[in-house]
Amino acid sequence: MSVWDGATILITGGTGSFGKRLIQELLAEGKVAKIIVFSRDELKQMEMRETFQVDFYSPLRFFLGDVRDQDRLYRAFRGVDIVIHAAALKQVPACEYNPFEAILTNIMGAKNIIDAAIDCGVPRVMSVSTDKAVNPVNLYGATKLCAEKLMIHGNFYTGPAPTRISCVRYGNVLGSRGSVIPRFRQQKETGVLRITDERMTRFWITLSQAVRFVMHCVEIMRGEEVFIPKIPTASLMDLAKAIAPECKLEVTGIRPGEKLHEILISADEARNTVEMDNMYIVRPPRPKEMWKEGKPLPDGFEYCSNTNPWQLSQEEILKVLDTV
């Protein structure tokens, strides 16, 4: 029996790109009993009602709320089987210039999720994280690192509750809201594409791949681990040339809080990480025997976008872009 069969699912930030695609997948499979979309944007909720043609018999339910509001989370989490936490302030420049707001949503919001899940007896919580949480140089990454640590160590507070909490961590999502791809496509009309640095590389994953990965990790999670998919890397230069080979490229310089290259697993973290067929798993701080079936990583291993052996060519980038 699948964990989704007859389950009640709650998605924080459910009106975002990830949430909408996840809902599509869950509805297509037809296994879940109820999907609760928890978000603070009533306009986007109304648009989703129209998109999914929600009526009295639909499994979709909409809760207006903010992860900063613990009381509202307690009300929403009653009777929920699986929480997928995707709500966050995600834009690096916005977090740099609104630091207290980023802390309230990304860190205190994570604490509120943990407390509500444990006290309401939610069996599974999966938090969506980012490569920017590894060796962070910006406030967004720092808040997501703190949120990861809270989620993993929040398992220590569960006591007799059935709650288990894990994280997934991946790179840039192709085609998501705020992705560089829509911006490049808009700039293509002007004949000039603006990139920050010719050397910059990023990990890439499609929205469908991210959703399927999260769903798979929810099924296999044991609690306290961080799941990281094996995904390709592409340089920003190759991405720009693939989208608009005829355009002139203008280098604008790295923005505040940006890295040249991103890291999904640091060298220090790798010592407690195992390799599986299609993913890496950062094992829990306790107990050490969990995920013993995985292959330990070699000394000095680091999963970095500029040294990742899976580098996409311009032709491969075009094939991927055709799917988003």
Identify the three-state secondary structure at position 280.
strand
The Cα 132–Cα 42 span in angstroms is 29
Count of residues making up the chain: 324
The Cα 269–Cα 276 span in angstroms is 16
* Contact present, 88 and 145 (Cβ < 8 Å): no
Under 8 Å CB-to-CB from 314, ≥6 apart: which residues?
238, 241, 242
- Phi then psi for residue 62, to 5 deg, are -120, 125
The 8 Å CB, 24+ separation contacts for 245-251 are: 246/191, 247/187, 247/188, 247/191, 247/192, 247/193, 248/191, 248/192, 248/193, 249/192, 249/193, 249/194, 249/195, 249/198, 250/192, 250/193, 250/194, 250/195, 251/194, 251/195, 251/196, 251/197, 251/198
Catalytic residue set: 132
* Contact present, 13 and 37 (Cβ < 8 Å): no
